[in-house]
Amino acid sequence: MSKKIFLITGGTNGIGFQAAQEIAKTKKTIIITGKNALKGKNKLNEIRRNTGNEDVHFINGDLSSQIEIKSIAEFVKRKFSNIDVLINNAGAAFFKREESVDGIEKTFAINHLAYFLLTGLLLPVILDSHKPRIVNVASSVHKGMDLNFDDIEMRKTYDGYRAYRQSKLCNILFTYFLSNKLKSKGATVNCLHPGFVNTGLGHNNSGLVKFFFMLSQKLFGKSPQEGAETSIYLAMKKDLEEVTGKYFHKHEPLTSSGQTYNQNTQKRLWNLSEKYTNFSY
């Protein structure tokens, strides 16, 4: 691959940071996003120092806010001529129901709607690239879940773990639907299960929930380096230039849950996402 431009959301922590750092070692142009400006500056400098690659950039923005998502996209389009690889990696889990500045349940807003809106806004510069790739970080926890379109924000009865699992189901439904839309345009769209990884996921919570996440990740979680392997593989492996609409773990395509292949469900989620974001593509 010639020098290409990679945009990685949530690139200041965990899987996203490790993916950014490993790809930066190959002297590609790297853009990472994060909501904490000071942390972002520190991580940017860390990547540059560890890799010797000065062509690494940070964009500050909160992906739970649609206004900030639009600001990120506008900044990217002003500064960069194209995006060769977009890795939608940023994610969160809220075990006490919270709403975004837009009044949307935060797990759904960050883990799905941010993927949908940022990808759509950046699509013109993505499609300007040669054989561009979109990589969506999902999870095996989607299995066994269904979407309740009558209460997708769980306003009636909230369960944080179910909200997270539902958002990962949305990631895969989104991947499959978008891959079909873009097949004729030369872009590939794939998703992945990174494994159970020792990252900061869930640490935004408090009390016993935070303690449970930190302890279980420490005892049973893979390292972020291991967790980033599939993202890097899908972003960079030359043999995957024509592979699209797949769900991967490590270097292997897997079968996702039966629900993810339901085209009516894919389309219904897509239509709902357009309404939530007031954006279509």
- CA–CA distance, 272 with 27 (Å, rounded to integer): 39
Contacts of residue 207, defined as CB under 8 A and 6 or more positions apart, other chains included, come to none
- CA–CA distance, 134 with 119 (Å, rounded to integer): 8
Q: Considering 115, 158, 161, 164, which one is annotated as catalytic?
A: 164
- CA–CA distance, 276 with 281 (Å, rounded to integer): 14
* Residue carrying structure tokens 């007031």: 278
∠ Cα 183 189 190 (to 5°): 135
pTM, to two decimals: 0.91
Q: For each of the chain's 281 residues, which pLDDT tens digit applies?
A: 458 999 999 999 999 999 999 999 999 999 999 999 999 999 999 999 999 999 999 999 999 999 999 999 999 999 999 999 999 999 999 999 999 999 999 999 999 999 999 999 999 999 999 999 999 999 999 999 999 999 999 999 999 999 999 999 999 999 999 999 999 999 999 999 996 544 545 445 454 444 444 444 454 445 668 889 999 999 999 999 999 999 999 999 999 999 999 999 999 999 999 999 999 99
Distances 199 to 15, 16, 85, 165, 223 between C-alpha atoms, Å: 7, 10, 23, 17, 8
- CA–CA distance, 1 with 173 (Å, rounded to integer): 29
**In this structure, what are the phi and psi dihedrals at residue 6, rounded to the nearest 5 degrees?**
-115, 130
Q: What is the pLDDT of residue 224?
A: 65
Residue 248 pairs in a beta bridge with 192, 253
* The length of the chain, given as a count of residues: 281
Identify the DSSP state of 136: E
Q: What is the pLDDT of residue 223?
A: 66
The beta strand positions in the chain, using DSSP E, are: 5-8, 29-34, 56-60, 85-88, 133-137, 188-192, 247-249, 252-254
List of domains in the chain: 5-195+227-275 (3.40.50.720)
Continuous segment of H or E residues that includes residue 274 = helix 263-277
Catalytic (active site) residue 164: yes
